[in-house]
Every structure is written in structure tokens, then in C-alpha cells.
Amino acid sequence: LSPLEVAEAYLRRVRELDPGLKAFLTLNERLLEEARRVERDLPLAGLLVAVKDNIATKGLRTTAGSRLLENFVPPYDATAVARLKAQGALVLGKTNLDEFGMGSSTEHSAFFPSKNPFDPSRVPGGSSGGSAAAVAADLAPLALGSDTGGSVRQPASFCGVYGLKPTYGRVSRFGLVAYASSLEGIGPMARSVRDLALLMDAMAGLDPMDATSLDLPPRFQEALEEPLPPLRLGVVREGLSGNSPGVERALEEALGVFQGLGLRVKEVSWPSLPLALAAYYILAPAEASSNLARYDGTLFGTRAEGEEVWQVVEATRARFGLEVKRRVLVGTFVLSSGYYEAYYERAQAFRARLKAEARALFQEVDLLLLPTTPHPAFPLGGRPDPLAMYREDLYTVGANLTGLPALSLPAGFEGHLPVGLQLLAPWGKDELLLRAALAHE
């Protein structure tokens, strides 16, 4: 098959099936032309990638799921996208997300919610729900998501695909629409571990455009050829109850699989993990309130009408969705004089403690196993209470607060719905995560 034939086949499939799933916000209108012209000897020649719509794509609308950016066409590519393109990959289209990445279901998209391919009455997860749904339904072979508090891993688990949140800084954030800069990064989603490796080898590495990017050269595909040593696998249970029966069963089964592969399973404790959610929902909104201040219609954000500048600003910012407004208000509050010490500073101190505990834990074990989510995909409209929506992120935010790499792998079903489990590794050991996931596959 030529790149053109593959692109035509995928476009046909998207046109047929996406009206039911609503995974895409924008399709790349130039795809066929690009497929015709792609240099055939490049390593990723013609590989189609769906890109979450908070990742900048040159000449292709990038909305971040928000009315504020609904007409924004970036004049540049995110580094991750530029590197994929340089190897011959093509952007198939841009996928739906919760506005600015704020949510766990894609229901906070300013445009429409996406649906779970396993059950269209349920959410695909979020915020990278469009990417997960597209990969699960094979509307795209591969996708990029972003993960601030679980947005690659949770939708991957709800849709039965693999998703990696790399070590903080391993993939450049240049061109990722900022939500909470100290927590987030771009990560790959795919139906196999080898596909994750393919994307990581192309995307990861130092980038002069992102001062927090790491000089850790990726060696994912190479690492997958090495046999898995008899690692120590820690499993955290204390303080983390309330999982659905299917999640508990998947956990037991996976422990069995890993034991069969020669890993030594050990119960460990990460005492502060149950509190990570509270710290996350202070720190993430705090950073968001600062990052989103730029969308006031003067330089950034679709400008609303108004006589005076303050009226322009007010009318422009009124276009934020309800959840975004809530986060900006919470963030402004926890950073304000008199409350800063009580909330922001304590959350930062907690973050340091969580990191120290993780460091100690990884003296005892080489990998950690946790559920990705407490239960499989919930119904559309099933989490009207914002706090209930936040609680969905119980197991995922720990990796973001610590910067550690974490991978969600498909681990069975509860009824007709996929269940995912999460592996965590020490800082910079992303390759090890993929080796363990491949052995499990």
C-alpha cells in the first residue's frame, strides 16, 4: 500500500464512522496532497497520526476545545509534531478534548462530547478522549494526547488502548497549549506497545524551545528487544479502596501474569497518594489561572466586541466554558493574599513529600502497579458534580505531581467495557515501562 492509499482508506473510515463517535474536531484537508508528496524512504513515511487539538499544527486549526481559540491557525508546529513530520508522519486530523484539557470525559469540550467506541452512551474519558476513541475505533493508527493529571492514561483505559505519560520533560512542551505547565506533557496513544515506542523515539529528546525538556536520548525500540529482568513489582493498596469488581479482577490477573514473567510482587505503601488529588486540584487550577490570563482578546483569544478595552476583555473572557471559569476562580483564590499560605504553599510542600515517598518506594521496587481508574467508562452526563468528576483522577495525578513516567495498559473487561491498569517507573525509566507492558501484552 502506498501512503496515498492508506490515507484515502483512513479518510473514508473517518467519514463513515466519526459522525457516530465525534472523535475529530478538524480533518487535515491537505492530507492526500501530503501523502502523495511524502518521501518514501523516511522512517515514518506516510504514518498517520491523530493529534489532540491542544497541540499546535502549522496551518491546521488548533482550538484546545475552546471558543477562545476556535479560529486559531498556528503558524508553527509543536516540536513533537515537527519531529514526527520530519520523519515522514502525516497529521490525519485534530481530536476533541475537554476545554484546555480540563476534564475527564471530553464533555467539557466547547464543541461537543465524544463517545466511547465500546458503548456510545458512555464517555471515552478525557481530556484526550477524542484521541483515545479514534485509536480504539481504528479511525487513526496512532494518536498524540497530553497528560496534566491523567488525560492520556484515563481515556486510554476507558477505550482499551495503550497510553504513556512520559517522564516530565522527555517530550518537549513547545506548542502544547499550556494548562498547568509544571505537571503536563505530550504522550502517545496506540493499540500496541511497539507503536508507542515508534512515536517516542521520533518525538522525545532535548528541545531548545522548552527549557524544561530533558537531555535523555530516547531508545525505546532498542529497549524492547532486551529481555525483561526479574524485576520487583510493587502494588499499592492501602487507602485506595472502592474499585469496581472488574478493576480488582484485572489487578489480580495482571499480578499473576507478571509473576509468571518472573517478576517478584510485593505489597508496598505510598502513604500520601490518597491525598494527591487534593493537592492536584489546588496546583493545577493555580497554574491554569496564570496560563489562561493571556486569553483576553487583546493579543490572544478570539476577540469579542466592545467599546472600551475592559469591555473587550470582559466579553472575550465570558466565552470560557463553565469548568474553565471554575478553575480560574479556584486558582486565583488559592494564589490570593491570605490564602496563598493555606492552600498553594501547603500543596507545594505536599508535592515535595509525595516525591520523597516515591523516591523511597523505588528503592524497594523497580515498578509500581496501580489501577488507572477506579472503574470503567461512566455514562455521558454521569458526573454532573464537579467533585465527582475530579475524583475520577484519583490514581493518575500522582505521576504528574512527581513527574514520574506512567503507562496505562489494557487489562481486560468489565462486561463490555475495557479496564486499564497503570505501571509507574522511576524518573527517566520510561523505556522500562514499555518493556514490562510489552511482556504483559
Catalytic residue set: 52, 127, 151
Nearer to ligand GLN, 28 or 146 (CB): 146
Minimum CB–partner distance for residue 242 and ligand GLN (Å):
18
Q: How many CA atoms lie within 13 A of 170 on its CB side?
A: 29
For ligand GLN, which is the closer residue by CB, 101 or 418? Answer: 101
Dihedral, 143, 288, 149, 167 alpha carbons, nearest 10: 70
**Residues forming a β-bridge with 94:** 26, 51
Q: Which residues of 243-275 are buried (b: 16+ CB within 10 A; e: fewer)?
A: bbebbebbbeebbeebeeeebebeebebebbee
Residue type, 218: P
Q: How many CB atoms lie within 10 A of CB 237?
A: 13
Distance CA 166, CA 186 (A): 8
Q: Which three cell numbers stand for residue 110?
A: 466547547
Q: Give, in order, the Cα–Cα distances in Å from 371 to each of 68, 164, 409, 410, 418.
A: 35, 14, 10, 11, 12
Question: Nearer to ligand GLN by C-beta: 77 or 392?
Answer: 392
Q: Which is nearer to ligand GLN, 46 or 331 (CB)?
A: 331
Strands (E), 326-383: 367-371
Show the beta-strand stretches assigned E in 311-364.
Answer: none
Nearer to ligand GLN, 151 or 272 (CB): 151
Nearest residue (CB) to ligand GLN, 124 versus 297: 124
C-alpha span between 385 and 283 (Å, rounded): 20
Question: What are the backbone angles phi and psi of residue 163, rounded to the nearest 5°?
Answer: -145, 135
Taking CB positions, which residue lies at the least distance from ligand GLN?
A: 151
How many angstroms separate the CA atoms of 279 and 300, rounded?
A: 29
Where do contacts with ligand GLN occur on this chain (CB under 6 A)?
A: 101-104, 127, 146-151, 179, 284, 393
Strands ordered across the beta sheet of 367-371: 24-27, 90-95, 48-52, 142-147, 185-190, 162-165, 406-414, 417-424, 367-371, 232-236, 264-268
- Yes or no: say if 151 and 141 are a contact pair by the CB < 8 Å rule: no
- Nearer residue to ligand GLN within complex by CB, 28 or 62: 62
Residues in contact with 56: Cβ distance below 8 Å, sequence separation at least 6, in sequence order: 62, 74, 76, 77, 78, 81, 175, 176, 177
Q: Which is nearer to ligand GLN, 147 or 201 (CB)?
A: 147
The terminus-to-terminus CA distance of the chain in angstroms comes to: 27
Nearest Cα residue to 54 out of 83, 34, 92, 81? 81
